[in-house]
Amino acid sequence: MTTTDIETVVQADAPAKRAGALRRLLRRPLGVMALFILASLIVLGLLEPVLNTHPPTFSSLQHVNAPPGTPGWPFGGDQYGRDIWARVLSSINVSLISALIGAGVGLMVGVGFGLIAGYVGKRTDAVSSWVFNLLMTFPSLVLIIILFPVTGGTFQSTMVIFGFFLAPGIFRLVRNLVVGVRNELYVDAARVSGLSNRRILTRHVLYVVRGPIIISAAFLASAAIGVQAGLAFLGFGAAQVSFGAMTSDAFVNIYSQPVQLVWAAGFLALLNGSLVLLGNAYRDALAAPQATVKRRPRRLLGEAVIKPAVSDTPSSKPAADATSGLLTVRNLWVKYPQPHGSEKAVVRGVSLDVAPGEIVGLVGESGSGKTQTAFSVLGLLPKEASVSADALAVAGESLLDKHAGAMRRLRGSAIAYIPQEPMANLDPSFTIGSQLVEGLSAGMSRREAKDTVLQLLARVGITDPVRTFKSYPHQISGGMAQRVLIAGAVAGRPKLLIADEPTTALDVTIQAEILDLLRDLQGEYGMGVLLVTHNFGVVADLCDRVLVMRSGEMVESGNVRSIFHQPQHPYTRELIASILDEETVRTDPAPGSARTHEEAL
Amino acid sequence: MTALLTVSDLRLRYPGGGFRKPSPEVLKGVSLEIAPGETLGLVGESGSGKTTLGRAVLGLAAPTGGSMVFGGKDITRMPQRQRRPLAQDLQVVFQDPYTSLNPALQIADILSEPLIAQGVDANEARKRVGELLDRVQLPANAAERYPREFSGGQRQRVAIARAVALKPKLIVCDEPVSALDLTTQARVLELLIELQRSTGVSYLFITHDLSVVRHISHRVAVMYRGELVETGPVAEVTNNPKNEYTQRLLLAAPTADPDRQRERREARRQLLAAAG
């Protein structure tokens, strides 16, 4: 192995420092504002002893219902002549402590049990889920009020109890997140590395699921503040200075001094609002796109319309010779917009032809643009892709500027498609039969369609077509599902079949059967086939011609034998050389087995 | 007996199943041995139980019968606490490099974790990370990066580095190259062979790809529906298979040569026709 491995060289540029969720939060105006408000309120609360002009319970008869701005009484006085400003500061502290206790207890109980229930599973999970579900059914407010004599009515003890009632929500969230993470391979790897369960839970599980927990913590805190204020407003624990008690007092004066209501309600709204907005901003920050390595797009939303090339390359003659072959592609470009405004071309000026009755293999490694090329022909690229070509025609019909409806009709008749993952391409909630009939029902009665489907199923080698017709996708194997999709694809007697890695997800014995089936059907229907694959064995088995792609460009094309025996382009040579040779088996002896051999002698 | 790992008559069924109808048996009495420094290729199709066997050896699936002896110790039903020191000698490389590395941890943390878990001092462990990256031919600046900044092949190198960090005696490789591109696959196999030559580690190499097995294995075991149908030296099993299923499997794998593949296709047709 040489040291000039292309693959091992990590691009030395762009240290690509990960922007943590917190830093991304600070880039959002909403996040900055919510954080600023919350922090200011906390500072006000902490500085209460310095800032207040009187103790919150001090009352002065001269200042009963004093207007705001009275010297020494900046927010005025209430009906008992108490300093509203001092009471606001004190209430902030009460609310913050309520939030800490309520959310803290809820988080500790919910996260603790959620982690254990999700990770251990089985009986622990069943029992704790049952208990928390039961807890959820209790009317929490009523219970807190009933327990008032027991708890002594302090807001701290009330919040401890309320924390337990907040726990079920968190418990369910954490449990479900953990169940999703528990079976990840990195958790298995950590177990194999000999990590203790506690360490796996904190380092691998909790760390990964922390985002949603932080978000709901903000909402829990705001719920705790709201409930504390609500109870105090109703008169439970009204002896304690708090926003609830203040609102209640101000309520009495609502006709004479309505401004008194503003202070308590305003600060309470600011506090709760900042918590909720902070939670939202953090969620947005977590959901924001990051610099991730993209895996193959699973779902395609909308479709891009293929534009005629805007003469970047004026030399190429447009569409003149486009009618000769079955599929003609000239100078195809596919570009995707990048986050920072520029465009990235994933297919760069590809031209290819497929003649009627010909099987053409399109090979390349991941990221070579082979699937993008095939999907352009199908008209199935996502909307944000900008696709252009000098010519793109199937059976003499140009696909340039075709709108979605026309492409759909074409896909039903002239072009058919076989996907890589058969199971993902069948709807799990409908029977196989109904999905196939639906695709056919245009132009024939349901009876005819059903008969045709049954014939097709028999044709693609399904032994009991009637039973498969009535089956749901989960009831059949992957190989069968691929046969079903092939039946669906050839139902419209297409002229061109595009197969995207049709056997990659299948076992070799099944793969051999599917390849046989494709070869037979191709001969029978005389279809042209564009076969996208990375497997040279499949190419050798099926293809007449081969096109080799690398990073969006076509590097070589030719007859299948000449590609295998006299590859011209260095990249093709490298690919062919990477195929593990069948003749060479490993011959160097294993040291251990050699020893046993000697001992045997 | 010098075998490093001896598996005898291993049986396993996953929990579940009905009240009177137990869940189907995934392993139906599997026996195999791996010598020190040897690669045993375990070939089979999906559902054959090959991955389950690997997980049983790793202690991630509990056997219902039979026994496993590793380095002289019975590990069949070893509780997790006792198993922990075993991590020194028994490691794993999984198939999917996208989910086998924790996305939230830096490469340095991923690599130092098994060392720290086995009692290596944290500073010392960080120092070893550089050596490990060098071993798997990744640049030293990879340490402060996150898994998502790497390609599939590079991630698999990180997974291999994590596995060899503790200088184990056996690594269970579960389809380690099947998610990789052709050129990458060849390089990762080279790396695995080079590591074996220099450290004398054994591999239980689980794969469905026969050409990969030929390349890396000293001996091959073919698994079909929870049973081993054929075991032997790699040349013998792949060139001269005795078992009917092994023959079918070998003929089904397409070879990368149009003319030879045509012959193989014919041979397969005849075999299937003869079988009825």
Q: Indicate whether A5 pLDDT > 50.
A: no
Q: What is the pLDDT of residues A250-283, one digit of tens each?
A: 888 888 888 888 888 899 999 999 999 988 888 8
Burial A564-582 (b: 16+ CB within 10 A, else e): beebebebbeebbebbbeb
d(CA B250, CA A512): 11
Chain B closest CA to A514's CA: distance in Å? 11
Strand partners, A215: none
Q: So what's the pLDDT on residue A319?
A: 43
pLDDT, one tens digit per residue, over B30-86 is 999 999 999 999 998 888 889 899 999 998 888 999 999 998 889 888 887 888 888
* Residue keyed to tokens 């076509």: A554
Residues A366-385 have a mean pLDDT of 85
* pLDDT score of A1 more than 70: no
Flag residues of chain B having pLDDT under 50: none
**Residue A202 pLDDT grade (very low, low, confident, very high; cuts 50, 70, 90):** confident
| pLDDT (average), residues A316-339 | 71
CA distance B192 to chain A (A): 12
Distance CA A390, CA A486 (A): 31
Over range A385-389, report the average pLDDT: 85
Cβ of B265 within 8 Å of Cβ of A541? The answer is yes
For residue A236, pLDDT over 70 is answered with yes
* Residue B228: predicted pLDDT: 92
Q: Mean pLDDT, to the nearest integer, of A358-371?
A: 88
In eight-state DSSP terms, residue A482 is: H
pLDDT digits (tens, 9 = 90+) for A143-194: 888 888 887 778 888 888 889 998 999 999 999 988 888 888 888 888 888 8
Residue A10 to residue B154, Cβ atoms within 8 A = yes
Orientation of helix A84-120 relative to helix A122-137, angle to 10°: 150
**Which residues in chain A have their CB less than 8 angstroms from residue B197's CB?**
588
What ipTM was assigned to the predicted interfaces of this complex?
0.86
Mean pLDDT of chain A: 81
Which chain B residues are closer than 8 Å to A582 by Cβ? 211, 214, 255
Confidence at residue A322, expressed as pLDDT on a 0 to 100 scale: 43
Distance (Å, whole) CA A361 – CA A359: 7
Instruction: Kindly report, residue by residue over A39-89, the tens digit of the pLDDT.
Output: 999 998 888 888 877 788 888 888 888 888 888 788 888 888 888 888 888
CB contact under 8 A, B184 and A7: yes
In angstroms, the CA A121 to CA A113 distance is 11
Q: Quick: pLDDT tens for A485-537.
A: 888 888 888 889 999 988 887 888 888 888 998 898 888 888 999 999 888 88
Chain A residues with CB-CB distance to B166 below 8 A: 193
Structural domains in chain A, CATH included, are 21-290 (1.10.3720.10), 355-380+398-577 (3.40.50.300)
